[in-house]
Amino acid sequence: MTTRTIRLDSPQEALELLGEQDAQLRRMEREFGVQMYLRQDIESSELSLEVKGSPARVEKALRRLRHGLSLLRQGRAAAAPRAPAGLAPVSLNLPPLADGIYRSAFGALVRPRTPNQARYVEAIAKHDLVFGLGPAGTGKTFLAVACALRELESRQAHRIILSRPVVEAGERLGFLPGDLLEKVNPYLKPLYDAFFALLGPERFRIWRETEVLEIVPLAYMRGRTFEDAFIILDEAQNTTPEQMKMFLTRMGSGSKIVVTGDTSQSDLGERTVSGLARVVDILQGVEGVAIHRLGEEDVVRHPLVKRIIRAYADRENR
**Which tens digit of pLDDT belongs to each residue from 249-302?**
999 989 999 999 988 877 676 677 888 999 999 999 899 999 999 988 888 776
Confidence of residue 121 (pLDDT cuts 50, 70, 90): very high
Task: Choose one of 73, 88, 123: the last residue of a domain.
Answer: 73
- Domain co-membership, 137 together with 196: yes
Tell me if 78 is assigned to some domain.
no
The full length of the chain comes to: 318
- Domain co-membership, 24 together with 137: no
* 23-32 vs 11-18: helix crossing angle, rounded to 10: 50
At residue 306, the pLDDT reads 67
Tell me if 273 is assigned to some domain.
yes
* 140-153 vs 115-126: helix crossing angle, rounded to 10: 40
Contact, 18 vs 24, CB < 8 A?
yes
Please name the helix (run of DSSP H) or strand (run of DSSP E) that holds residue 172, with its range, or none: helix 171-175
Domain residues for 29? 2-73
Whichever domain contains 12, its CATH number is 3.30.1370.10
Please name the helix (run of DSSP H) or strand (run of DSSP E) that holds residue 25, with its range, or none: helix 23-32
- Domain co-membership, 15 together with 115: no
Say if residue 100's pLDDT is above 50. yes
Tell me if 80 is assigned to some domain.
no
Say if residue 10's pLDDT is above 90. no
Please name the helix (run of DSSP H) or strand (run of DSSP E) that holds residue 103, with its range, or none: strand 102-103
Closest CA to 240 of 248, 250, 252: 248
- Domain co-membership, 140 together with 199: yes
3 state DSSP class of 105: coil
DSSP annotation of 108: P
Tell me if 222 is assigned to some domain.
yes
Tell me if 129 is assigned to some domain.
yes
Contact, 142 vs 294, CB < 8 A?
no
- Domain co-membership, 58 together with 124: no
- Domain co-membership, 63 together with 188: no
15-19, 141-145, 189-193 — most confident range: 141-145
Q: Rounded distance, CA 75 to CA 70, Å? A: 9
Q: Rounded distance, CA 21 to CA 19, Å? A: 6
3 state DSSP class of 16: helix
* 180-199 vs 140-153: helix crossing angle, rounded to 10: 80
Whichever domain contains 146, its CATH number is 3.40.50.300
**Which tens digit of pLDDT belongs to each residue from 204-215?**
888 887 788 888
Tell me if 110 is assigned to some domain.
yes
Q: Rounded distance, CA 66 to CA 132, Å? A: 44
- Asked which of 111-115, 121-125, 132-136, 210-214 is least confident by mean pLDDT, the reply is 210-214
- Domain co-membership, 175 together with 272: yes
Q: Rounded distance, CA 175 to CA 295, Å? A: 38
- Domain co-membership, 145 together with 215: yes
Contact, 161 vs 317, CB < 8 A?
no
- Domain co-membership, 69 together with 111: no
- Domain co-membership, 20 together with 121: no
At residue 183, the pLDDT reads 62
The percentage of the chain sitting over the pLDDT mark of 90, rounded to a whole number, equals 24
Task: Choose one of 73, 92, 123: the last residue of a domain.
Answer: 73
- Domain co-membership, 210 together with 312: yes
**How many domains, the chain?**
2
Say if residue 170's pLDDT is above 60. no
Tell me if 87 is assigned to some domain.
no
- Domain co-membership, 36 together with 162: no
Tell me if 79 is assigned to some domain.
no
**Which tens digit of pLDDT belongs to each residue from 42-98?**
777 788 899 998 888 888 888 888 888 887 777 644 343 443 333 333 333 223 445
